[in-house]
Amino acid sequence: MNTLRNKVQLIGHLGAAPEMKSFDGDKKMARISIATSETYTNAKGEKVKDTQWHNVVLWGKQAEFAEKYLNKGSEVLIEGKLVNRNYTDKDGIKKYVTEVQVSDVMAFGGKS
């Protein structure tokens, strides 16, 4: 039951190719940005498309999968947890980031 306390599932499209990084020679990390969209009708009867962008981080085997199979526009399903972190940028300003740390990923279609 504890795994349900912080669980995220998203189906969306990548906004760009995965940004890959390697650590200690064999540990890989991938950063991707996923767009999720929903359409609804507003009070005036107009159709409105609302798109949200999500920062996503993949490690190890999931990062290798992203590198091999994902590209800009790829449709994916990801599952993971929300992680909040902060850092200080080069100008000394504290920045806050929320991202999804992936535990499972599935692609709909291959890399073109």
Parent domain of 56 = 2-108
Q: What is the pLDDT of residue 109?
A: 67
- Domain holding 71: CATH number? 2.40.50.140
The number of folded domains in the chain is 1
Q: Report pTM.
A: 0.83
pLDDT in tens, 39-62: 999 999 999 999 999 999 999 999
DSSP letter string over the chain?
Answer: -GGGTT-EEEEEEESS--EEEEETTTEEEEEEEEEEEEEEE-TTS-EEEEEEEEEEEEEHHHHHHHHHH--TT-EEEEEEEEEEEEEE-TTS-EEEEEEEEEEEEEEES---
